[in-house]
A and B are shown apart, each in its own frame.
Chain A
Amino acid sequence: MKIFVGIDDTDSLEIGATGQTANELRRIIMGRGWGQPEPVTRHQLLLHPDIPYTSHNSSMCFAVEASSQYLQEMIRCAQEFLESSSAPGADPGLCVAVDERIRNVEHLISFGCRAKREILQKEEAYQTARHCGLHLSEHGGTGLGVIGALAGLALRLTGNDGRFQGKIKLQQPGTAMSAAEILASSDIEEIQSIEGQPLLPSETVIIGEKIKTVLLDSKRKLLVYRKNDEWHTITNQHIELY
């Protein structure tokens, strides 16, 4: 079965990063032999002065195909990890969901989408988690990270939100690669322009400094843009929108 793990608010101004925490948790799950986690996605939530986020108000989510016998142990492990590794002053939250046991998916996804444009309360996060059959728990501080943990997981479920954490290595920056070569040599599933036009396998892409991928149509996609009549991989400046 597919297990989704969402975490949020594990860092402070000077210590930690929730993306790193999520990746460390992935490594622990892998190390225990519970499954091979998918890459982490980062989901941007509302930026508003009344929300006490550290610096980005983004939350992290990953999925892992694992046997049901490991579920409770995995939750306990994640809880202990968040409590031991989160920065002082952080307000960490953990959300865990089993794909086939999620109820009222539309309600859950609505919560995630609203977290991108509204200020939500912790009580509603817990109500939503109960209503939809998800585990939700807080592990220090005010525990307000439960809102982002639930929202991040919900947004991942949409298959159309967020960007992947971590680096993808292709050839040296400035090198030209065909779309087919890129797909064959990486975890990228599709390549399309920022306007949504899919690239043909034979089309050429100029590789940039950093390869950024996004979650679109439930796939890991590489986005490209047109410059000087050539396709180029998107830069940090383009990724702001995802």
Chain B
Amino acid sequence: MQAKDMFVFREGGWEYTGGKRDWQTAAGIAAICQGFMDDDEGELAADEAVSCYNCRYRRWTADSFLCMWPVKAKFNSSKNKCLE
């Protein structure tokens, strides 16, 4: 599975389909993402330093998070063009 397959476009941005506890995949995606940026220390959610869950561009939702990386956000169509 490729990183782009883990996101679907919803109103507001690209939502991660793995939920909030998909530690290994979220770390793997962040490791190859050019947009990863550390969030404030007090907001880190994963034990892996580099993880979508620790990225400044993730916006938490009730069940998962939206990727708000501006480069990805501009692909605001239902076509999965992100992380290609």
Name A's B-contacting residues (CB within 8 A). Answer: 13-14, 17, 19-20, 42, 47-49, 53-58, 165-167, 209, 235-237, 239-240
Contact = CB atoms under 8 A, between A and B. Distances in A.
Contacts of B70: 13
Interface residues of B, number: 23
B57 A13 contact: yes
Contacts, number: 52
Contacts of B42: 17, 19, 42, 165-166
B14 to A, nearest CB: 14
Contact of A17 (B40, B47, B60, B61): B40
Q: Is the interface of A mostly helix, strand, loop or mixed?
A: loop
Contacts of B12: 49
Contacts of A48: 62
8 contacts: A13-B70, A53-B59, A54-B59, A55-B43, A55-B68, A57-B60, A209-B47, A235-B47
Interface of B: 11-12, 20-21, 23, 39-47, 56-62, 68, 70
A55 B11 contact: no
B36 to A, nearest CB: 13
A13 B56 CA distance: 7
